[in-house]
Structures are given as structure tokens and as C-alpha cells.
Structure 1
């Protein structure tokens, strides 16, 4: 039994459309690091949290931006013992993450992995979080040396001050 010409034409059109979508949706990764946001380049330090003495838990951030990459140190303070004391060190501990960021309008999106202070990847069997670190912030540039970060996962905004300015020199990937 012969299949009608329209059936073959429809199948061909569907395959052609699927291939076109696949070809246009795929792109090669860049050979070089992208420059990132010029106003963020450098190291930013959060000194305090609003009403931190009244809070049970709070974190202080130290953020470093180099081209399109970031490194974050998160110092957490807790008045409640949530785990083994060898991890929480009497209510204080530090976590680190590194990865890449991008900014669209007023939203800064960081995505990376939890790591050790020396930038090596963190063993998932250790203390606290491991694996993917992802956060979005609404950012407001207050001055050349003060940026306000509003995490979308929290109601507590924080300001960070520039402690060391750097310039981006893109590196090969």
C-alpha cells in the first residue's frame, strides 16, 4: 500500500523544523572569559546585618568578582546549636563557593559550587552544604564603593563596601 505524498511531506517538514531548532539553540562555549560587570570588579565586604544582635541566625558575606567569575565567603553566626560542634565551632562557621555570574537589568545571578577556602571543590561528606550554590540578588549601586544586595531567598538585604578594586583581564578557558 502506498503512503500519500502529503504524509512524507509532513514528516520531512517536522524533521527539518526539529533540526533547525536544535541547530539554532546550540552554541559553542566561548574560548575566553567574558568581562562581567565593571562596577563589581574587586572585593566587597559586608560588615554587619541590620538588628544582628536580635537575630538568632545571620550571615556576613565577602564577595570577590573577577571578570565573569565570583568567589564568596559566607560567615554564619547562630545562637542555636543546629549540629555537631565540630562543624559549628560554637555557633560560628564559614562556607565558600565559586562559579560564574551574570547580570540582567537589576538582578545578579550567581551559580557555582561550594568549595574550600583554597578554591578546591568541597567533599560532599563534610560539614554543611555541598554541591551547587545558586542565588539571585537584586542589586542597587549606592555609590562607587557601596552596593546593596537583596537576596531573593531572604528578606534581609545587605550592603557591601568595596575593599579592593580590580580590573578584568579575561583568561582563556
Structure 2
């Protein structure tokens, strides 16, 4: 059994489009894929999504869920229905907004010496921290110095050491303010 988390399926940039595992020949026999309205429609906290793929696996999860709770709060179901009725242009406009924010962070972080790559999908930019510190120590120091809070990469596992994660869900002006504050303590030689 393969469980593929596809929560960011509709949050992508440039000419990239995340691939569904179910596009791979034979995957429908062994895989299910999770989708979330939280990321697609900015409904964080609503806890509503869907599971698609192998019918037996989907049925097993449905039986398990029916024994755990009694369903989704009806107003959240109505909100989800309205979200799913939004036109594709709404998603395109939202993605263009997130792409502008990603680009602001990408340029600003690289100008500060914090190498970042242009992510092709998702709501975060990952950046390298300056040498000589841990992710947590750097994030703590930066917060103490500037009031800018970045998430240490190690919050997501040991592979995140040497990185910080920054959300692109903040307004552009707030991102620019954070970068400006960071520039007062990060000097590029």
C-alpha cells in the first residue's frame, strides 16, 4: 500500500504541475492519494478533504473513519461545496499571488546570502542558513535580533538541519518588511 499526500496539488507555479501518483501505470492497484481543501482553498483548520485511489483501501479508511467520528460539521460541508464551485480562474489568481510572494522571498533571501531555490509548488520557501549555526539557533538569534520568526528546518526532521522554512501565505508587504529587518543583521560580504 502506498499513501500519497497530495495536499498541495493545486498550489503550483510557472509551468509546473504536480503529478498524481495515480497517473503511474498500476498505481491504482496499490495506492491512495490524500487531497485537502485546506491548501487548495485556504481552508486551514476546516479539516476537510478527500481520499481517492484503490477502492478497497478507500473503503477500509471509510469504515475506520465511521468508527472514529460521526462526520464533518455541516457548515464546513457547505463551505467546502462553495469552495469547490469556485471557477478555475480563482485558483490561477491565487497561485499568481503566491508566486509573486515566492519570488519576493527568493530574491530577498538570496540577496542576504541565504541560498534559496524557487519552489515549484507548495506554500513554503526553504533557505540555507548562514554557516556556523544550527537551524534552531539561527532562528532564535534572528528572532531576538529582528523580531522575524522563521521555522527551523529541524522542526520537520533531522534532514532539515541547515535550513529554515518560510511561509508564502503572508502579505507581500509583510514579507518585504521581514526581509528589510533581516538585512540589518545579515551582511553579505
Q: TM-score, with normalisation over the residues of structure 1?
A: 0.23
Q: TM-score, with normalisation over the residues of structure 2?
A: 0.21
- Select the structure that is richer in strand: 1
- Select the structure that is richer in helix: 2
Choose between structure 1 and 2 for higher RCO, CA contacts under 8 A separated by at least 6 residues. Answer: 1
